[in-house]
Amino acid sequence: MTSSLFIDIGSYQVQKSGEDCFGDTIYAKKIPEEQRIIGILSDGLGSGVKANILSSMTTRMAMKFMEDNTELQRASETMMDALPICQVRKISYATFSIVDSELEGKTRIFEMDNPRYIFIRNNRLFDIKGREFSSPKWKDRKICVSQVNNLPEDRIIVMSDGVTQAGIGNKKYPLGWGRQGCIDFILKTLRQDPYISSSALAEKIVNEALSKENGAKAGDDISCMCLYFRNPRKLLIVTGPPFNEDKDREISEMVANYDGKIAVCGGTTANIIERELCLKCEIDKTSFDTKIPMASKMEGVDLVTEGILTLTDAYRMLKEGIDKNSNTASVRLVKLFLGSDRIDFVVGTKINVAHQDPNLPMELEIRRNIVKKIFRLLQSQYLKEISVRYL
Amino acid sequence: MEKIKVKICCGTSCFVMGAAQIQVLEFDPPADIKDKIEIEESRCMNYCHNTAAKYNRGPFVEVNGELIEEANFEKVVNKIREILDGTKD
């Protein structure tokens, strides 16, 4: 796989019932210079504060060692030596699962005593044989290393034993929910919603595990981290008629040939595309609102809206948070922004004479300015990849 | 009887000048004209762009093809009633 993948990483945790803090720690980090993402899940011995300290120390140390590419045996020995010894059990202990992914697709997974990671490809479980080794110093601790080359739509799920042992001792689950139960649930969830985001999937898994417990009270810390490898979700935003009418065709062809979602923001722009591509465009009356003009439906285009007012409102929502229970054109636009990884703006720079009327409200921004504000915000706050082209 | 066609421009400038209030016709029209009109929204009818033709300001509304400039709810409803009265005679 030569083209760069996008890795969506998300996690969810529930702490042991009655405890004040999480005994498991999840820590993920992007290293943009190396095009690398490292995610670590650690389960500390016991629960509560003690476990929290053990697992936090483990994740931080492991992250440092991974970043520096320290040799594994040395790294793991140092980690085990450094952890404080439990008063009760006279051992120092925290499990870990480390997923180290490069955007080109190579992923290495290091595990110690956590339930084995789950690797899903083509909606099936892919069992990968790992190599096991232990250090001479800690013979009973086995670290399992495996490596996969990721393809788009692969998923890796790591979890703490709170997930697999959920409900242990119940009549229904005498041995706990089990890894297989978890796998079945993941596959079922993915069949229903193949493009579910990592954080949503992690939350579902944890909640399902929690539902197996007696009285839905967590008997252990339940944590899950998911990675979802996918081709970047692309979005094309076309707004404004081009300065030169000769470019009308060019803009329309961009819309026709784009391999991703498309939003057209601007009445005149929509009219141009409707005319050039001979598409039918109809107003969608379900989006009626007194503040934002209604959206329209056009074949092959995901969203058609009015221009400046909608963009200005979308900018407001990107700053202040999306309006709930609303179906206006601007809410739909913001949802498209947030659901995309890479956003290409094509901005027509023709000035709308009618907007220069001094009797119009001040809020009518110049298109180029509002687009600039939006993409800067998307870049800095939402970490989206952005490209802009003026026509 | 054929319905009266009302076409409302919902382009940016018409919208900020008050086209949204005219759109109320669609969702909550006065009882007497309720069944007699057919509303169509347009993304932009291009009247505002046409500075040479010296149109007044929006919102622009067409009732049976006849243009109403600087339209508001009353103006449009009055126009519709006018047409309806005309057809009764």
Per-residue confidence at B68, pLDDT binned at 50, 70, 90? confident
Q: What is the mean pLDDT of residues A95-100?
A: 92
B16 closest CB neighbour out of A267, A304, A361: A361
| H-state helical runs in chain A | 48-67, 72-82, 161-164, 178-192, 198-212, 248-257, 267-277, 308-320, 329-338, 367-380
Contacts of B11 in chain A (CB under 8 A): 267-268, 293, 306, 354
User: Is B49 an 8 Å CB contact of chain A?
Assistant: yes
Q: Tell me, what's the pLDDT at A2?
A: 42
Q: What is the mean pLDDT of residues A164-168?
A: 90
Instruction: Tell me how far apart the alpha carbons of residues A355 and A347 are, in angstroms, rounded to a whole number.
Output: 17
Claim to verify: residue A97 and residue A225 sit in the same structural domain: yes
Distance CA B64, CA B1 (A): 14
Mean pLDDT of A362-369: 76
Per the CB < 8 A criterion, the answer to whether A24 and A223 are in contact is yes
Nearest CA in chain A to B58: A354
Q: pLDDT tens digit string along A45-55?
A: 888 898 999 89
What's the mean pLDDT in B37-45?
84
Instruction: Give the closest of B13, B17, B27 to A288, CB-based.
Output: B27
Q: What tens digit of pLDDT does each residue of A23-59 get?
A: 999 998 888 788 888 999 999 888 889 899 989 999 9
Range of the domain at A158: 6-230
pLDDT digits (tens, 9 = 90+) for A285-300: 888 888 888 888 888 8
* A228: phi then psi, degrees, rounded to nearest 5: -130, 115
Q: Find the residue in B nearest to A274 (Cα).
A: B43
B43 touches chain A (CB under 8 A): yes
Domain match, A243 and A211 both: no
Identify all chain B residues contacting A357, using CB atoms and an 8 Å cutoff: 13, 57
CA distance B70 to chain A (A): 12
Chain A residues touching B43 at Cβ < 8 A? 267-268, 270-271, 281, 283, 296, 304, 306
By C-alpha distance, which of B68, B12, B72 is closest to A355? Answer: B12
Contact A218, A17 (CB under 8 A): yes
For residue B56, give the chain A residue with the closest CA: A354
**Over 70: is that where the pLDDT of B55 sits?**
no
Q: Is B20 on the interface with A (CB under 8 A)?
A: yes
A279 and A188 in a common domain: no
Q: What is the mean pLDDT of residues A316-344?
A: 88
Residue B72 confidence (pLDDT): 86
* Chain A residue with Cα closest to B22: A290
- The arithmetic mean of pLDDT across residues B38-66, rounded, is 79
pLDDT at A363: 67
Considering the domain boundaries, does residue A1 fall inside one?
A: no
Amino acid, single-letter form, for residue A96: F
| Same domain? A85 vs A205 | yes
Q: Tell whether B78 lies on the interface with A, counting CB pairs under 8 A.
A: no
Query: In chain B, whose CA is at the least distance from the CA of A286?
Result: B27
**Residue A197 pLDDT exceeds 70:** yes
pLDDT greater than 80 at residue A360: no
Total domains present in chain A = 2
The C-alpha atoms of residue A161 and residue A387 are separated, in whole angstroms, by: 43
User: A311 to chain B: nearest residue by CA?
Assistant: B12
Q: What is the pLDDT of residues B10-21, one digit of tens each?
A: 888 888 888 888
Out of A214, A230, A246, a domain closes at A230
Residues of chain A in Cβ contact (below 8 Å) with chain B: 267-268, 270-271, 281, 283, 285, 288-291, 293-294, 296, 304, 306-309, 352-355, 357, 359-361, 363-364
pLDDT of A173 over the 50 cut: yes
For residues A307 and A370, state if they share a domain: yes
Residues A151 and A221 reside in one and the same domain: yes
Clarify whether residues A223 and A304 are in a common domain. Answer: no
Which architecture, in CATH terms, is B4-88?
A: 3-Layer(aba) Sandwich (3.40)
Q: Which of A120-124, A326-330, A355-359 has the lowest mean pLDDT?
A: A355-359
How far is the C-alpha of A207 from the C-alpha of A199, rounded, in Å? 12
What ipTM goes with this model?
0.77
Query: Hey, where are the domains in chain B?
Result: 4-88
Q: Could you tell me the pLDDT band of residue B53, with boundaries at 50, 70 and 90?
A: low
d(CA A295, CA A325): 16
**Exposed (0-12), middle (13-18) or buried (19+): which is A158, by Cβ within 10 Å?**
buried
Mark whether A281 and A168 lie in a shared domain.
no
Query: How far, in Å, CA of A296 to CA of A139, rounded?
Result: 66
Q: What is the per-residue pLDDT for A70? A: 87
Between A238 and A77, the higher pLDDT residue: A238
Quote the CA–CA distance of B68 and B19 in Å, as a whole number.
Answer: 12
Specify whether A138 is located in the same domain as A278: no
| Shortest Cα distance, chain B CAs vs residue A5, angstroms | 38
Residues A50 and A144 in one domain: yes
Q: Indicate the residue among A230, A250, A272 that finishes a domain.
A: A230
Shortest Cα distance from A385 to chain B (angstroms)?
29
Q: What is the pLDDT of residues A236-267, one digit of tens each?
A: 999 989 998 888 999 999 999 999 999 999 88
Is the separation of the CB atoms in A62 and A98 below 8 Å?
yes
